[in-house]
Every structure is written in C-alpha cells, then in structure tokens.
Amino acid sequence: MSFRTIIPFGPQHPVFPEPIQLKLAVEDEKVVEAIPGLGYVHRGLEKGAELNDYVKNIYLAERVCGICSFIHSWTYCSCIETLLQVEVPPRAEFLRLVFSELSRVHSHLLWLGLYADAFGFESLFMQCWRVRERSLDMQEAGGGGRVILSTCTIGGMRKDLDEDMRRAFIKEVAEIRRDFQQIMTPFFEDYSIKKRTVGIGVLTKEDAQSLGAVGPVLRASGVAGDTRLLGYGPYREVDFEPVVEAGGDCHSRGKVRVREVLRALDLITQALERLPEGEIKTNFRGKLNGEVFQRMEQPRGEMLYYVKAGSNRSLDRFRIRTPTFANIPPLLKMLPGCDLADVPVIVLSIDPCISCAER
Amino acid sequence: MQMLATVLNNLFKRPVTREYPYRYREPFRSSKGRLVLDMRECIMCTACEKRCPAGAFEIKRKEGLFKFDPYSCVVCGACVEACPKKCLDVDSDWRKPVGEMRTEIWHIEPPAKVKSPAGAETP
Amino acid sequence: MSFAFSVAGILAAPFLGGLLAGLDRKITARLQGRKGPPIIQPFYDVIKLFGKESTYTNRHQVFYIYAYLLWMAMALLLLLTLQDFLVFVFALTFAEISLALAGFSTRSPYSHIGSNREILQILASEPVLVFLAFALYLASGSFMAGGLFLLGEPLLRNFPLIFAAVLLILTIKMRKSPFDLSSSAHAHQEIVRGVTTEFSGRYLALSEIAHWVELVIILFVVFLFWVDPWWVGILLALAAYLAEIVIDNIFARLKISWMVATAWGWGFGLSLLNILYFTM
Amino acid sequence: MSWNGFFLIAIVLPLVVAGLVYVVRSVQIRKILIISMAVALWAAGLWLHFSVGAEPQSFSFPWMNLPILLGDLMILAYITYVAIERRHPYLLIIGALQLAGLLYIEFALRPDMTQVSSLVIDRLAVVMFLLVSLVGSIICIYALRYMDEHSLHNGLRSETSHFQPLSPEASAQHDQGHTGRFFFWFVAFIGIMNGLIFANNIFWLYFFWEATTLCSFLLIGYEKTEESQSNALLALFLNSIGGLAMVVAIFLLVNSFDGDILSLLAVVDSGLEIISTPFQVALAFLVAAGFTKAAQLPFQNWLLGAMVAPTPVSALLHSSTMVKAGVYLILRLAPAYHGVLLSSAITLVGGFTFFAASLLAVADDNAKRILAYSTVANLGLIVACCGVNTPLAVSAAVILIVFHGVTKALLFMGVGVIEHAIGSRNVENMEGLVVRMPAVMVVMTIGVFGMFLPPFGMLFGKWAALEASIREPLVIGLLVAGSTLTAMFWTKYLGRMLSSLPGAEDRVIPAPISGYYMATLGILAVGVVGLSLGMTGVVQALAIPAVENWYAVAIQEVSGLNLAVFSWASYFNPEIVLGNFVVPEGLFPVGLLFLGLVLTVTIPLFFFSPEKERVSRVYLAGENLEDADSEEDLTSDMIPAGDAPREKGEGKMEGSFAGPLEAPAEASLGGYYFRNVLSEKLVRGLNGAAILLLLWMIGVALV
Amino acid sequence: MNLSRARSPWVLHYDASSCNGCDIETVACMTPLYDIERFGAISIGCPKHADILLVTGTINHKSLRVLRNIYEQMTEPKVVAAIGICATSGGVFHQSYNLLGGVDKAIPVDVYISGCPPRPEAIIDAIVMGVEKLKKKGKEGLAGSAEASSG
Ligand code: SF4
Ligand code: SF4
Ligand code: SF4
Ligand code: SF4
Ligand code: SF4
Ligand code: SF4
Ligand code: SF4
Ligand code: SF4
C-alpha cells in the first residue's frame, strides 16, 4: 500500500531546456526521493578531443557549453599556452576578461530568466532575456557570434576591439546596467518570489563545503570561494571581490547572481577603461609536452581542465571537471522533502548546465 | 509587486520586438553567418580540410573533387585563416532553411588554376 | 431575460470568451514588451486543433471532456436565464469535476497531479460562489439570480467583502499567476500541461472552448455585483479582468498549499464575515 | 389486508423467517424464504403507501407491554454479561445504569401504560418503512450471493490482507455453521427496524432501539476475528451510551409529567405547549441518543469500526437501518423542539459533523471507510436540516434520508462486489476498475454521481438544505465547507477507479459478475436514477405528506404565526414530474438538468468512434518504454529501433518508463490524502470539539 | 482550417544532445525581441499538443528513444525541424563515439537549418518553413501524411 506517485521528471520536460531525468517519488506533493538519470547529452567530447589536432580542440572546447563557451575556450587555450610556454599579450588578456565577464552577464541573465520561469513569473523571464539581448549584441559586434564566439585562440585573440567599439562598449555596459537595475528589485524584494524561494532548497555552509559545491551555490551558502581570487589572467590587476550571501537557499542564490551581474559589468568597464595597447596575439611554435591543470571561474562556478599531451599534435588525455558536475551532489541533498512545485526552482537554483556536466 | 512599474511601463511603450521576417535588421559587420566559397583560386592544398574541426570538407586531390557540406560547417572561420588563396570567407548573412540537405561539390583540376564551379549537385 | 436571449448568449459566449482570451494574450505580450499575437489568435488555435489528429488514451476521457464543455454550457445557461444561483454553482462544479475526472482517467502522473490540483482549486473556489448565493438571497430574498435586477441597489454595496473574495477566485478560475496550478496556457511549469496533458486535437479544443465559457461565466458573476445600470457592471467586469492580467504579470506562481490556505482563509473568511455582518 | 396483518408481515414475518433460516440449513430453502419475504415486504409497502392517510393512526397492544419489558431486561442483561465477559468496565457501568434505571422506572415510578398506544403509523413511518423494506430486502437478496462467496474467501482477515481461499468442502462446512447465524440476525434486523419505525410507546421504542444495537453488535462481530470483536464491542459501548441517554430521557418524562408523556406522539404534542426544563432536557437526551445511532461526531467511531463486517451488513447499517433510526428519531422529534434554542444547537452539531466527517473522508484510502465517513457526513446534514426546522428543511431531511438510503446501499453493494473481485478495499488498488469491471463501474459512477452531482437526489436534498439553512447563518460556513469537501473526496475516489492505461479497454477482459449482483445492483441503480428523475413526485408523494401537518400545528401554537404563511400548497409548487421544483427561495430545474445529463452521455457517443482515432500512450516525459510489438515506421537509412536499449516484454511496458540507469520503472500514481494536515491530532481535536458541542447542546436545554 | 494551421504552430523543443547554444537561441525566439508568438507560435511542453518539433543537438544512444517517443506522441500533422549543425549532421562532434549522427537518422526531418548556433532569425525562418510544410501536410490529409513525411 503506497501513496507514492512516481514521476519521470524529464528528460523531455518544459522546465528543463536540457534533458535530464529525475525519478521523483512524491507523496501528496512532497518529494520523498529524487534519483537523477543522466546521459542524455553525453557526447563523448573528451574522447573526441583526444582524436583531434589540438588546435581544433579550441572549437570543441567552446562547445562544451554554448552559454559560457568563451571561458571554455580561454581555459583550453591557457592550458595549451602553459604547455607551449607562450606569453599572451596583455591586451589579449584584458579582452579575454571582457568577454568572459560578458558571458557571465549573459549567462546570469539567462539564468535569472529561467529561474523566474521556474516559479511561473513569465514577465520577469521576458524582461531578463530582453536585457540579455543587449549583451548578446555586444558579443556579436565584438566577437562575431551571439553565443559561440570563436575569438579566443592559442596565443591570444582573433579579433581586436577598435577604439570606437571600445567606447561603444563602455556606453553599452552602462545601459545594460541601467536596464538591469530597473528589473532586478523583484529578485530581492518581491513578495511572491520570496514566498517561493526563501527557505527553499537550503544548503548549509558545512554541507556546501563538504559536498563540494562551487560557484554561486557555494557563495550563496556564505563561503567566499571564487577562483577569480586566484588572479589568473588579468584578474590580479582589477578590483575584484567575490559576491557572498549567507542564506544558503534559493533566494540567496538568486541574489548572488543578481549582484554578480552588476559586479561583472563593473569588471568589464574596468577592463575596457584600462585596456592596454599592443598586439593581441603571439605566434607560437613548439611541441606539446607534459600535463597541466587549469582552474577558472565559470558563471556556474569553478571549472577544472586537465590536459596531458605527449609529443604529437593530439592530446593524450583531456578531462574537464565542470561546475554543474560538482553541484549535483548538493542538489540531491536539497531535493528530498521539498514540494513538487519547488523541484524546478531548486534544480534551477544550481543553474544546471547538463551539457557541460555530461560533455 | 515590484514588477508593476516595469510592466505598466512596457504597456505604454512600443514593444521592442524586432519584426524579423517583415523588417530585416542588418547583422553586425563581423557577424559570422555562413561560409562562402569562391573556388576560382583554389589550389587544392587541403589546408582547409586539415584545419576544419567539423570535417566539413572532403577534398580528393587526385580526382579533382572538392566537397563542402554546409550542414557540417560550424562557421568557426579556421579554414578562412588557413587558406593561402583567400578562397573562403565568412559572410554575415545566414543560410536559409532547406527541406533537404545538399553537399556542395566542385570539380577542380588539381594543378590547373581556374575552373568555374560546377554548381551544387545532389550527391 | 428571455429564452432567445439566453440561447444567443450561449452561442455567443465562446466567441466572447475567445476574444477575451485573445485580448489577454495581446495585453500580456504588451506588458512584457512584446508585440504579441493577433487578438483572434485563440480562434486560430482552436480551429487548428479541430483539424489535428485526435488521440485518446481511454474512452471515458472523451466522455468527461464532453461533459466538461456541456456542463459549462449548462452553467452558463442557468446563469444567463438568471436561475437559482445555487443550482448554477452545482452545474459549474459538475463541469470542473468532469475536467478533473478526464485528467484522472488517463493514468499519466502529470495529468493525475493536475487533476488533484484541479479538485483543490474547486475546493478553493466553490465556497465563495456558494456564499455569493447566500448573499444573493440575503439581498433579494431569493436564490434566483434574477432577483438582483429588482433590487434597486448594487450587490456590491452590501457585500464588498464577498466581491473581494470573488476577485480572488477569479484568478483561480482564470488559471493565472499566482494560481496557474492545475493547468496553464504557458507550458513552463512543473506538471507540463497538467490536466490537459493527455488531451489532444479536438479534445484539447473542446476543453479550450469550455475554458472560454468559464471565463465568460466568471466575468458574468462579477457583473452581477452591479447590474443596474448594466454598463457599470460590464465595466466592473472588464476592470476586474484587466486587473487580473496585470496581476498575472507581477506575481510568481504560488504553491497549491498556499492557494488553499488563501482561498479558505481570506476567501472563505471574508465571505462569512460579510454574511454574518449582514445578518447580524 | 388488516392493520394487524400488516404488522404481522412488517415486524413478525422477518423474525419468523429469521428463525426458519437459522433452523433450516438448506441454502436453497433459505433463498426461497428470503426472496418470498422480500416480495411480501414490497407488497406490504405498496399497500401501506396507498392506505395511510394524512392523520396518524394509533394501535394498542397492551398485552405486549410485559413481554417487551422482559425483552428489554434480557437485552440489558446480555449487555451486562458481555461487558463482564469481555472485561469492559465502562460498558458494565453503562449497562448496569440502564438496567437500574429501567427497573427504577418500572417498579418505583410505575407508569400507567394502558392508555398509551403501542404503535403508530403516519406518513413519516410510511417513508421509513418503504425504505427499510425495499432497500433492506434487496440487500438481503444481495447478501445471499455475497455470503456464498464470503465463506469461500474465508473472509477478509484485516483491512489490508488478501484472500486465502478455502477448499470447497471446507467452505461448505464453514457455511453451514456460520451463515445461518448471520442470516438470522440479518433478517431479524429488518423486522426489528420496522418495529422501531412504528413504535410509539417509549418503552417499545426503547426495546427496539436496544434490539438494533444488539443486532448490530452481533453482526459486526460476525467474523469472530479480534478486530471485528473489538469493533463490535465499541459499537455496543457507544450505542449503549445512547441507550442510557434514552433511559435518562424516559426517567425525566415519567418522573416529571405524571405519565402524561409516555409516547412519541405525546412528546411531539407536548413540545408545542410545554417549555419546561425537564422536558427540554429529556428532549436533548433523546436527541443525543439519536446522535449515537446516527454516528454523529464524537460517536462516529462505531460506524467506522463496523466496516470490518461483511459488506451487506455495512450496506444495511448505512442505508436503511441503524443509522437511519438515529436520524429518524431526531426528525420525528423536530416539531417538539421547534422554535427553541435546542433546535439551533442541533443544527450546529449536525453541521459540524457534516464538515468534520467530510474532512476526514479526504484523508482515508479505505473505500468502505470513505463510504462510512460520507454516511456520517450526510447524516450530519440531515440532523442539521432537522435543526433548521423549517418546512423546507425537514422535507429536505426526508428527501436526504430516502436518497441517501438508496444511493448508499448501491455504493456499498458495489464496493462489496469490487472487494470480492480484487481482494482489497483500498482505493489505491481499485485503479483501472473501469476496464476490469465495467458494469460495476457504471453502477459505481451512478452511485458516486448520485451522492453529489446534479441532477441526482442527494444534490437536490443538499440544495434544499442549503437554501433552508440561510436562516442559520452560523452553520452556513460548515455546510459550505463540508459540501465542497464532499465533492473532493468523491472525485478522488471516482478518478482512481477511472484511471486506466491506454488501450486497456481492448486488452483487458472484464471479470464476470454474478446474476444476483447484477439484478440487485441494477434495481438500485435504476432506482437512483428513477427516483432522481421523478424527484418532484417523490417529494410530493412522500416527503411533503410525511412532515406536512407538523408545522401547521407547530407554528400556529408556538409563535402564533399565520398559517397561510407556511401553507404547504404555496410552499412547494412542483410543476410536472419532470418539471421545475419551485420554492419561495429558489428553483431546482429537474428536467433541464436531466436533459444535460442525457446529452452528456449521448453526445460523445454521437461524435466519438474509438476505431477511427489513435490510442496514444501517456506522456512520460519521452521515456516511455516501447512495447515489444510496437512497430516503428522507419526508412532504411535510419537507425533501426532495436539499437536503442529497451526492455523486452509482452506489452507490459505500457505505463512504465526508463528510469535512471535504464532501469524500467512504473509511473505509479498515489492519491492525495493530505495526511500532514489531516492527522490523528486533527481527529482528536474534532472529536473534542464535538464533545464540547454536545455538552453545550444539553446545557442549552437546561437553561 | 489551413489558415489556422498556418497561424498557430505550437512548437515543442527537445534537446537531443546539444551544447546549449542552439537551445538558448531557440528560447530566445520566444523573448520580447523575437517573439514568435506573433505568428501564434507558443512553446508547448507536451508533445501531444505540438505541431512543430524543434530538435537541437545530435542524437546519442540515450536520446534516440526519447526522440522517437516524443515524435510518436505528436499528433498529425506534424513537422520536425533540425536546428543547428549538430542536429543536421553532428558537426563539430562528428568524431564522438556516443553520437549517432543527424536527427534524420532517427525520425523524419522536414526542415534543416544550419548555423552553430543558428541565429534566432534563422530559427524563425525555419519555423516559417515548417509552417509551410504543415500546411502541405494538412492538405494531403491526415491519413497519408505519416507515409509522406518519411518517404
Ligand atoms: S568509464 Fe564510467 S561511464 Fe564509461 S563505461 Fe565505464 S562506467 Fe560507464
Ligand atoms: S556549466 Fe559548464 S558548460 Fe555550462 S556554461 Fe558553465 S562552464 Fe559552460
Ligand atoms: S585508476 Fe584512475 S585513471 Fe584508472 S580507471 Fe581508475 S580512476 Fe580512472
Ligand atoms: S571523476 Fe569524480 S565523480 Fe567521476 S568517478 Fe571519478 S571521482 Fe567519481
Ligand atoms: S546551461 Fe543548461 S540549464 Fe542553463 S539554460 Fe542552458 S541548458 Fe538550461
Ligand atoms: S568555418 Fe570552420 S567549420 Fe566551417 S568549414 Fe571552415 S573550418 Fe570548417
Ligand atoms: S585552403 Fe583554400 S586553397 Fe587550399 S584547398 Fe582549401 S580552399 Fe582551396
Ligand atoms: S550546432 Fe553548435 S551551437 Fe548548436 S548545439 Fe551544436 S555545437 Fe552547439
């Protein structure tokens, strides 16, 4: 005699743009058990990369995820640059920072929209995506693609920003900030949003650390963990301070991301204002040899690349530890005991990117 | 509740929608829409084939066969940089949808220089 | 009102309801800064659905979908002919229960949950309508809705709290935020399309039409609060409708437990208070 | 037929048949006996209906007073014996108090009963008799078949267990021993109930009252399992409280009024004149006695416990006997407490029961318990109607009694058939009944719809009750809340039985159903529909005459209101049989609603042809497992369907999906029970509130 | 009827195994700037209600079954659009062991749109073309369309 409803939540499900399955056991509307089923977007990318020429892998790495594709290509390139011991020109480094923060802006806006959608706030979703289009326009103008830029390359960047563009960018960033500030208050104050998110999906500081949460999930639980603090690239030269919230619930995770958008816009302006003159690309030569780890902060948290190369043009080993992968154990910790209606909100609150988690 | 101002504001403003099929908005100059090929200068060096991450080219030098599959190309531009003869270029416009995919095929005499493209054929 | 008028009303109601739904979509789009669909979009949708293949998961489902529409029409007929308001409420309940049963009959977890939520919505909304019937009686000495037209003063004057409660259930009936729980026009929610998940083609169209009729019914109920002069009532109904659309856009969807608590706390409480106040 | 002959058929015949059934152990003869008795009762019912006029007729059998008294004492002695044997101290106290009270009244006060009429027949009694004899005897016939199967199954040991079939020989033995005794009490119950209906002398009333208690005790305990024994004891205990209340009432009446008020008629008549405290308190105690039988909160538990008995017992207890005896008493006394505060108090208790029982029904997953809660709730509604005490309200009470009797009997019998077929009475296990037992499902649908949807009689009764209750604003809230909750649990239940897998209609072969079942269920189902269709007729012929002359008197004398105001002719104005039902408060369009129902059934038949449309699988987020025999329409360059990992099986994968790690999982459905809200604590709270209400009611009578 | 069909294409999006690039561009079509609801198109979560299935990403071993199930549950007339290079051919992942190739390997595809990812404008083009096909299929009648689409 059981009162449980067993629901296949996904893979094809309107709240998940990406397929993932949660086998939910629900009593009344309380979730008593959640078992994830993965593998719907596993493309075998890491293995595919081992078959490729290492230069081609830039484009492959970009397509780990279409959302923060730029940071993937940056991380990959910086791995290869380390192996080849290539000096990247400072202007290229600053440009990389601009684009990587830009992708953080668009990723967070995208997420805020989907998050709003998960609790049925359609108009807010629309507004977030509307503002996001401005950042996409910037990417397209500066990089050539709306989401997948293909501008980062080994040794630097493929496209430069001319002076007009730089100024236009600074202005545009200010406008995005203005637009965003108009629509961001609900995430902090709206009654119905609070009702849906405060105290939902709580992850304590201890759990966050012991389960290895990363990125905004970690920071929303009160831990100031951010790989950018390591000061890779030009991060050591700009003013940066991670955004931390103490609540540990969905509401805090939302707030962290809202504030990070503002911080990212700030970083972009800083970088653009101090953009050094000079080359954007160093030519490189030489053989790959050895292995390297590289960590960088994605919109969703810390990501880790491992590249091992022998002496030929393809890689021996290529591994990516993506942030969503790290955030799934905390997610499974949060789900049991919540209401069915909370499931989309909680799942989205870690900003799952299945395509990166499964590669 | 905090949305009230925003939505009312929207109501009394023009919608921001870009009415795409009816009004066309020029893509940015540098925008990567599609790869265009101009095969007149091609020397069948296969540099493009080697660099392409998506395997969009299939070049058979001996037979003079040059195939390009627009439905594999991810428009990364790697081949454009690689081509010594500047045969390839990325255009900001995008490809229209099709009901059936066709590979573009050129027959090029390997050493000879100019051959007009034989046009698209169905494989 | 005459019989001919009521028949005309029943035939016109789906059109009116469809137009209102189209208006809703247009205004919603504009509130979100979009251009939005044409106003007659709902008709396109429904006609298209009639032209699509209809599948069913079992036969009773079909019966109950028809029952949903028929009893909705019955409720409308009872309302338009200004019959006994309680009987109207019962007919409306029958219609909604048919919808829930159509969902229950499918054995799909999504429509099952949708149906469960649907009956919770009935649970939340029905009491207020019954209270409204009592208010009607208290005001006019009869449960017949027609009595209102002889009253000489709007119902709103004596029963403002019940009016507030009716506004609350208007949101529930329209299946809009914050109460778009059992099924909603926009798919992005946890139970896919809820009750209607397993409907397709013609059956989805029928349930859509029934929903339009429901919209007309509930707006007519709002109208009853100010029948004399009639245009004030119509303005009142339209204003309530517009307010709902705005509310839909400034609220997140809330949870089912919250809905029941609100409806029973506020809706029930306000209505009862109003009635007690009036009778004491 | 003479009146005496009628009483012989109504009261004595069932007792005689019961005795014969017990003695003659041939199943064939038993069947003949019981069916003949049923026919006789039906004939008597018809005769009675046409020969009773508006005025009550009294009959005296003074020579029976002594045997009745002896019977009373024997029953009490037996109860005391049970209490001692089963070590139930409270029951012992109550039994002993009753015994003492009765002896005291008889031998110390010595009421003079020679002038008191023993039995009375009025229109209300006619309604009750028709209900008992028609529905009761149908249940008897149903029980013939049911108990055959029942002994085969060796009974349901507990609420959740499944059957352990006995071998045919063993069951035959079992049958001889057991079911004879069962039918003895079962058939006797009908006779006793008829006696209760006609009893006028309060001692007679008390005798039959206690006799029904005893009968139900024995029937509930029939299984002799531990659970049934303890539930039977609980029933005995709670009903004995009612008995005690009655003894107190009798004591007060005898003690304070010098033997003037020794019959129900006298009570009713005096109610119009005397508003003295002892009389009010006596009334309150009589009503409280009614509450115990009618299982009003806080006494609901005996009725729920009674669900362990074989289903015919539940059907009998719920539809026409036992619980109806409770509301019958309260209804009968309605004119006596008209216009005093007690009346409002009764409304409140009834309304509260209606609400609370409906609420509790939501949290239950046992089909019979759901039916039981629904009975409690509806009885609450009837009690509330009695308390409202206006012409519309009391006729609503009569309507509800009639329709509830028929509909609930139908539902119980349906559940009994289901239970025997699937071996469980859990609602969750009734999923897909619609394809497994379509005929029963039709019956159940009629039954469930009959309980709460238009245009059926129960809803009509509820409509009348709601319209009437406008005069009691305090209970409006309770009634409104209760009626929505009712809709909720019925929908849940029906939905559960309806849900079936796609295409199951074509795959599943329905289980065969015995002719006995089909006949009895069919009669009742037709009865429910027919009575609802002829609702105006029922009201006109039964309900109005039953309560008609109460208020004419009552209102004239108590409040001095003009008779014309409450003239029945102007009150109900049923147009034609199918027509509208008009009262000053509103209008119930019977014909129109029926038309709607007919259209609901026929229109889909007209438009829908299952062959032409595709049966589609349910949406499982795209992870439906494929049936082994499903063919994919794929062209050659596509990957053959076999590449995808999948499970082999003969169409069993329907409704299952591929879960994590490709493990097949069934998308099972669980009902909503809101156990976190509707917890034990809540039940205790409700009971507590009910006890307070009851005390308050008696307190109201004191002042 | 056909006019309505053309004016009310309800789309269902499924990600067979994409990198998100195409998905977010598909979602972007619904947002204020592109607003495909202008054409009556709404994103519908349930295959039984959908007219156009937008598939992004290549199929892998696991999404194959899902895709086929969804396709089967859609009601006629129905149109499938393969969105992006992954969906048309596999694109940059063509070497991967887990992938089976373009969407047309699993279900009949009516519209192909290239781009990695295609811009929202291009997706709108694809929907417009899908609508045309929908009209055609609707004319051909419901019965014959299943064969027509795969043949
Ligand atoms: S390595 Fe891991 S993922 Fe790969 S096959 Fe083995 S267990 Fe599976
Ligand atoms: S989750 Fe991974 S793939 Fe997705 S956006 Fe972040 S880093 Fe990129
Ligand atoms: S030993 Fe390490 S490398 Fe080898 S299989 Fe195990 S985890 Fe992988
Ligand atoms: S990579 Fe991490 S998660 Fe995967 S198997 Fe190894 S330890 Fe476990
Ligand atoms: S990254 Fe993943 S979760 Fe985020 S939008 Fe894309 S698919 Fe959805
Ligand atoms: S643009 Fe990139 S993907 Fe396209 S053909 Fe050139 S190298 Fe290949
Ligand atoms: S790289 Fe240029 S020249 Fe060489 S084969 Fe390609 S297109 Fe021709
Ligand atoms: S086509 Fe490009 S953007 Fe689209 S899913 Fe494939 S890799 Fe990602």
Task: Give me the domains of chain B, ranges plus CATH numbers.
Answer: 31-107 (3.30.70.3270)
CA D10 to ligand 7 centroid distance, Å: 109
**D612: helix, coil or strand?**
coil
Q: Residue D163's pLDDT band (boundaries 50, 70, 90)?
A: very low
- Looking from the CA of residue E93, the nearest atom of ligand 8 is 7
Residues 95-124 of E with CB under 8 A from A: 95-99, 116-117, 119
How confident is the model at residue D662, as a pLDDT? 65
How confident is the model at residue E141, as a pLDDT? 63
CA A227 to ligand 2 centroid distance, Å: 15
How confident is the model at residue A289, as a pLDDT? 76
The per-residue pLDDT for range B93-122, each reduced to its tens digit, is 777 787 777 777 777 766 554 444 444 333
Range of the domain at C244: 3-279
Range in A80-94, D413-427, D637-651 the model is least confident about: D637-651
CB A126 within 8 A of CB C32: yes
Q: Output the six-digit token pair for D637.
A: 């360059």
The per-residue pLDDT for range C112-132, each reduced to its tens digit, is 888 888 888 888 888 888 888
Task: State yes or no: pLDDT of D630 exceeds 50.
Answer: no
The verdict on the CB of residue B46 being under 6 Å from ligand 7 is yes
Out of E94, E95, E115, name the one closest to residue B95 (CB): E115
Out of C83, C91, C198, name the one closest to residue D619 (CB): C198
Task: State yes or no: pLDDT of B32 exceeds 50.
Answer: yes
Contacting residues of A for D160, CB less than 8 Å apart: 1
> Residues A62-82: what's their mean pLDDT?
83
CA distance B121 to chain A (A): 29
Q: Residue D259's pLDDT band (boundaries 50, 70, 90)?
A: low
How confident is the model at residue B2, as a pLDDT? 67
What would the DSSP string read from start to end of A14-71?
TTBSS--EEEEEEETTEEEEEEEE--TT---HHHHHHHS-TTTHHHHHHTT-SSSHHH
How confident is the model at residue D554, as a pLDDT? 47
CA A354 to ligand 5 centroid distance, Å: 7
Exposed, middle or buried by CB within 10 Å (0-12, 13-18, 19+), for C199?
A: buried
Range in D104-108, D185-189, D270-274, D463-467 the model is least confident about: D270-274
Number of domains present in the structure of chain C: 1
Number of domains present in the structure of chain D: 2
In sequence order, the 6+-apart residues with CB closer than 8 A to the CB of D82 are D88, D91, D217, D233, D236
**A280: helix, coil or strand?**
coil
| Cα(C24)–Cα(C9) distance, integer angstroms | 21
Torsion of CA C186, C191, C192, C198, to 10 degrees: -120
> Which residue's C-alpha comes closest to atom 7 of ligand 2?
A298
CB distance D502–C57 less than 8 Å? yes
Per-residue CA distances from D633 to C82, D638, D639, D654, E151 (Å): 55, 10, 11, 19, 10
CA dihedral sign, ordered A331, A335, A338, A344:
positive
Q: Residue A257's pLDDT band (boundaries 50, 70, 90)?
A: confident
What would the DSSP string read from start to end of D22-90?
HH---HHHHHHHHHHHHHHHHHHHHHHHHH--SS-EEE--GGGHHHHHHHHHHHHHHHHHHHHHTT-HH
What are the φ and ψ backbone dihedral angles of D539, each rounded to 5 degrees?
Answer: -65, -45
Long-range CB contacts (within 8 A, 24+) of D592-599: D592/C74, D592/C77, D592/C78, D593/C74, D593/C87, D593/C91, D593/D454, D593/D455, D594/D455, D594/D532, D594/D533, D596/C70, D596/C71, D596/C74, D596/C91, D596/D454, D596/D455, D597/D454, D597/D455, D599/C70
Out of B3, B7, B53, name the one closest to residue A59 (CB): B53
> Residues A238-261: what's their mean pLDDT?
83
For residue D114, the 8-state DSSP code is T
Contacting residues of C for A125, CB less than 8 Å apart: 188
Task: State yes or no: pLDDT of C9 exceeds 70.
Answer: yes
Residue D89: alpha-carbon gap to chain centroid: 30
Name the H helices within D110-263: 123-131, 137-153, 168-198, 202-220, 226-257
CA dihedral sign, ordered A137, A138, A143, A149:
negative
Q: Residue D538's pLDDT band (boundaries 50, 70, 90)?
A: confident
What SS3 string covers E92-141? HHCCCCCEEECHHHCCCCCEEECCCCCCHHHHHHHHHHHHHHHHHHHHHC
Q: Is C186 on the interface with A (CB under 8 A)?
A: yes
Out of C101, C105, C144, name the one closest to residue D586 (CB): C144
How confident is the model at residue D157, as a pLDDT? 38
Minimum-distance ligand to the CA of B91? 6
Q: Give the containing element (helix H, strand E) for A357.
A: helix A354-358
> Which residue's C-alpha comes closest to atom 5 of ligand 8?
E18
The mean of the pLDDT values for chain A is: 80
Minimum-distance ligand to the CA of A145? 8
* Length of chain D in terms of residues written: 703
Q: Residue D664's pLDDT band (boundaries 50, 70, 90)?
A: low
> Residues A183-192: what's their mean pLDDT?
80
Range of the domain at D570: 541-607
Number of domains present in the structure of chain A: 1
Query: Which of D607, D627, D657 delimits the end of a domain?
Result: D607
The per-residue pLDDT for range C129-171, each reduced to its tens digit, is 888 888 888 887 777 777 777 777 777 778 888 888 888 888 8
What are the φ and ψ backbone dihedral angles of E13, each rounded to 5 degrees?
Answer: -110, 130
Q: Is residue D500 part of a domain?
A: no
CB C85 within 8 A of CB C132: yes
The verdict on the CB of residue B76 being under 6 Å from ligand 6 is yes
| Cα(C11)–Cα(A78) distance, integer angstroms | 70
Among residues C17, C55, C62, C60, the alpha carbon closest in space to that of C209 is found at C17
Range of the domain at A341: 4-358
Q: Give the containing element (helix H, strand E) for D466.
A: helix D457-469
The verdict on the CB of residue B74 being under 6 Å from ligand 6 is yes
Exposed, middle or buried by CB within 10 Å (0-12, 13-18, 19+), for D612?
A: exposed
Contacting residues of B for C27, CB less than 8 Å apart: 11
Q: Is residue D177 part of a domain?
A: yes
The per-residue pLDDT for range E98-133, each reduced to its tens digit, is 777 777 777 888 888 887 888 888 888 888 888 888
Q: What is the helix, strand, coil percentage profile of chain D, to 5?
A: 70, 5, 25
% pLDDT > 70, chain A:
98
How confident is the model at residue D580, as a pLDDT? 67
Per-residue CA distances from C235 to C147, C224, C228, C238, C242 (Å): 21, 12, 12, 5, 10
- Domains of chain E, each with CATH number or no CATH: 2-150 (3.40.50.12280)
CB distance C37–E39 less than 8 Å? yes
- Beta partners for E112? B98, E82
Query: Which of D296, D329, D361 delimits the end of a domain?
Result: D296
Q: Residue C2's pLDDT band (boundaries 50, 70, 90)?
A: low
CA E102 to ligand 5 centroid distance, Å: 22
> Could you tell me which residue, B11 or D489, shows the higher pLDDT?
D489
Maximum Cα interatomic distance, chain E, rounded to a whole number of Å: 46
| Cα(A262)–Cα(A259) distance, integer angstroms | 5
> Residues D665-687: what's their mean pLDDT?
75
Q: Is residue D398 part of a domain?
A: no
How many A/B residue pairs have CB atoms within 8 Å? 65
| Cα(C92)–Cα(C125) distance, integer angstroms | 11
Q: Give yes or no for a cis peptide into A329 (omega within 30° of 0).
A: no
Range in C245-259, D36-50, D175-189, D448-462 the model is least confident about: D175-189
CB distance B11–C30 less than 8 Å? yes
Q: Is residue D28 part of a domain?
A: yes
% pLDDT > 70, chain C:
92
The per-residue pLDDT for range D217-254, each reduced to its tens digit, is 888 887 777 777 888 888 888 888 888 888 888 888 88
Q: What CATH number corresponds to the domain at position A296?
A: 1.10.645.10
**D695: helix, coil or strand?**
helix
Q: Could you tell me the mean pLDDT of each successive run of 10 residues in chain E, 151 residues long?
A: 73 81 81 77 80 84 79 82 83 74 79 83 84 78 45 30
The per-residue pLDDT for range A288-336, each reduced to its tens digit, is 778 888 888 888 888 888 888 876 777 777 888 888 888 888 888 888 7
% pLDDT > 90, chain D:
0
Ligand 2-lining residues (CB < 6 angstroms): A 64-65, 67-68, 72, 298-300, 303, 322-324, 353, 355-356
Q: Is A190 on the interface with C (CB under 8 A)?
A: yes
Q: Is residue D339 part of a domain?
A: no
> Residues A86-106: what's their mean pLDDT?
84
